[in-house]
Each structure stands twice: as structure tokens, then as C-alpha cells.
Amino acid sequence: MVPRTCIVLLFLLCSFSSLATAFLNLTLPGQHPNPEEVVQEVHRKVNASLARRQMLQGTIKYQDSSCLTGNPIDDCWKCDPNWPNNRQSLADCAIGFGQYALGGKGGEYYIVTDSSDDDAVNPRPGTLRYAVIQTEPLWIVFPGNMLIKLSQELIFNSYKTLDGRGANVHIVGGGCITLQFISNVIIHNVHIHHCYPSGDANVRSSPTHYGYRTKSDGDGISIFGSKDIWIDHCSLSHCKDGLIDAVMGSTGITISNNYFSHHNEVMLLGHSDDYLPDTGMQVTIAFNHFGEELVQRMPRCRRGYIHVVNNDFTQWEMYAIGGSGNPTINSQGNRYTAPSNPNAKEVTKRVETAEGKWKDWNWRSEGDILVNGAFFVASGKGVEFNYEKAYSVEPKSAVLIDQLIMHAGALGVGGRDNNLGKWSSGSNGDGNGLGSGPDYTDDMSGSSSRNNPLPLSSTSILFSFFISLSSLLFLYIIPDMHFTMRK
């Protein structure tokens, strides 16, 4: 007869095995069950926009139109001549994994009339901070040019759209933008730069709650445990940490039509190699221009499925795309222009990982143009089978990159003349929106020290499991207790 203690022990071991198996097969809320279908749909939309442009080329309608760029996102809303009065149709134009981001669609319009940010706990009505903490959906607009100097992190609530079309909007200072344990946010047509660490202070995150924030990293946009996020037509530069970081089980993200410049660690996707929920991270990076004076991380991936399609990588100093923790990287129709440094020609970098471990990682390049000696090191067994569905819709050649990314970044700036409509018919400010103060420099950004998480020991599997399970509870069950958590 089996002793009762053995029976109990066997039951516990079986229970733990079942829990561990379920956890390892974890599906995040918002994770698409078949990422290749999303890849196919992106290509279909690009092909349709380019075909429409080609069909109308040479006609009177084409000559009179500024909307037929072949970029499916821009053509979706700019081809509506009445778009300034139908702004919320933008929410129907996203592509890729972030296509379900509603933003403030269906909500009221909120007009930012006050550029100040003096009180992070009791923001005044009319300020941007007052808008983003509200619980109801809001479509946030700007009647004129505006420079917003943040005193602390700008913590968003769910269902918000930041729509800077028709104005020259700059967000700088402490924080800057934090999307933490929320969903359905659209950030469109704003400049985000010179962001530096803030914190050690109380900050409000909703009309009924504020809490103590520890020191932030100084990211331009920090996405933490959030889903259904779309960042489009923004210009990002000069931040102390990342320009965009997405970690801790974030998924359903599209980063499109942005202009990145003057930065070291551009984009981080994934918390750590050992954080299993990030296996469900799905990110589309499309039609962006990675411009001057960038060093690395365009992006740097840990786990997840990352679709990098039709971007222009002007140069880099170390590498363009890096990763660890076995992420899937699907690079299609991009243009990679290597720097002159003969030791930095490789597009890819497996970070702190031996070749014996990364040779089976699923990293693929299709239809990319490699310029000035650039080369992409692909890897993975059985990749052809895994990507068969993706290949069934051919990505457009990178020779069309100039056309697809011609308006990357904040619209209406420099050569990006897009006949932007103003929010109102009144004056659009003094013409520059930046006041009479000095231009921003790196010295104005303060100082920061990056907090890198310690990797988990290979002997700490049980501990890692319970920690990750606890993190999921925080992510999706008790989001109000997030104020002391940091990546």
C-alpha cells in the first residue's frame, strides 16, 4: 500500500506539472493566435494602396491629390478631404498587431488649452495631464502649436488618442509618456524628445487614484504590461533611456511612420530573457525612418514575434536589429544602409548568446535591400515551413521605400507638407509654438543611471515561475497596485 504522504506528494507534483505546462503555453490577452495571418494582411494592404496609386497615376485625380502615397495608413485617412472634421476615422487605419487599438474612438473631443504641467497630483482642467488620466474614452486635440514640459511621467488611462494633427506639438521633460497596465491608446503626430528620469514623487493616474512613483528611466514612451497600442507619425529623439520600450507582457503593438534620430538605445522589446510572458509579445514595425546619429536597438528584442517591414535604416553605429531569448524576427522589404565602419556592417546582433544557442532562432530576411556592405545573418531550422503563409503574399520591394516613408515623423514639419487641417479655423499660434526660450540641448536633460534587471539563475526555475505568475496577476487582476513596479 502506498503511504498517504507519497500520494499527497505525487498529487502536488502532478498539479505543479500541469500548472507549469499551462504557464509555458501562456497566451497573453490581446495576442493574435496566428501572427502569420497578420503579416499577410499587412502586405495585402500595402499592395492595394500601391496598386491604387499606380492605376490613378497620370490622371487628373492623381495630380490633384496628395493622399495617394501607397502607404496604406496615410491613404486611409488623408484621402478623405473632410478628415479634419472626421478625425476619429483615424482609428480605423492601423495595420499589423496594433490594428485593434481604438484609442478614444466614440468618446468626446478634449481640447488642450493649457500647456502647463505644474501639479502632477491635481492637474488643472485644460491641461494634457488632466485629459489622459480620465476613465472615459477621449480624443485629445490641440488648437495650436504647443510645448509641454512635463514635471513627472505622463501616465495614461485606457482609451485615449493623442492627435497632434494640425499643430506642432512637443512633449519634453520628466518621464515622458507611460502606458502601464492599460489598453487602447493611439499616439499620433507629436514630437517627443529630451525626456529624462523623474519620480520619487506622487503622480495621479486616474481621477480617484494617485501614488508614489519610484525613479523612472527617462524613456520617450514606456509601454508596460499594456496591449492594443498604436504609435504613428511621431518624431522621437534625445531621451536618456529608450525612445520606445515595451516590456512585461505588452502585446498588440504597431509602431509606424515614425522618425527616430539622435539616440543610443532606440527601442527595447521585452523585459528579460527569462520573462516568459513576453513570448506572447507581438509588434509590427512599419514605414519608419531610422535616421541620423542612431547607435543600436532598432529594435533589441527579447522573445516575442517582431515583424519589421518597409522601414528605412539610414545608418547605425553598432547594429540595427538585436535580440536574445529566442525572439522571432521577420524582416521584409526594408532598406539597410550600413555605416562606413568595416566592423559594423552586420544588420543583426545576437546579444550575449553563443552561436550554438541562436542558430535555431527564427530570424529571416526577405526582399530587404542591403546597402554599403550591410549584411543580415539569418537563422532557424524549418523556417521555410514556418513562414510559408507569410510568403504567400509577396512583400513589396524595398525600392519603394522612399515612397512609403516619405512622410515619416510628425507631419507638416520640414519637407513633410501634408496640407494638415487645423483643429479650429482660428489662429494657429505664433508660428513656432516653442516660445522664446533657448533650443533644447542634451545638457538640459539632467542625468540618469540605467537600472538593468539581474538575470535569473538557471537553477531558479521554480522561483521564476511563481514570480512570473504573480506578475500576471498584477498585469490583469490588480492593476491599481502598479506604482512601485519598474522594468
**Residues with active-site annotation:** 297
SS3 402: helix
Structural contact between residues 184 and 206, judged by C-beta atoms closer than 8 angstroms:
no
SS3 352: coil
Q: How far apart are CA 1 and CA 153, in angstroms?
A: 63
SS3 78: helix
DSSP assignment of 256-290 equals: ES-EEESEEE-EEE-S-TT-GGGGG-EEEEES-EE
The conformation of residue 62, written as its DSSP 8-state character, comes to H
Cell of 225: 504590461
Which amino acid is residue 123, in one-letter code? P
Cell of 370: 542591403
Strand ranges inside 250-394, DSSP E = 251-256, 259-261, 263-265, 267-269, 282-286, 289-290, 294-296, 300-302, 305-309, 312-313, 321-324, 328-332, 335-337, 348-350, 363-366, 369-371
Q: How far apart are the first and last CA of the chain?
A: 51
Q: How far apart are CA 28 and CA 185, in angstroms?
A: 18
Closest CA to 276 of 464, 40, 107: 464
Structural contact between residues 98 and 129, judged by C-beta atoms closer than 8 angstroms:
no
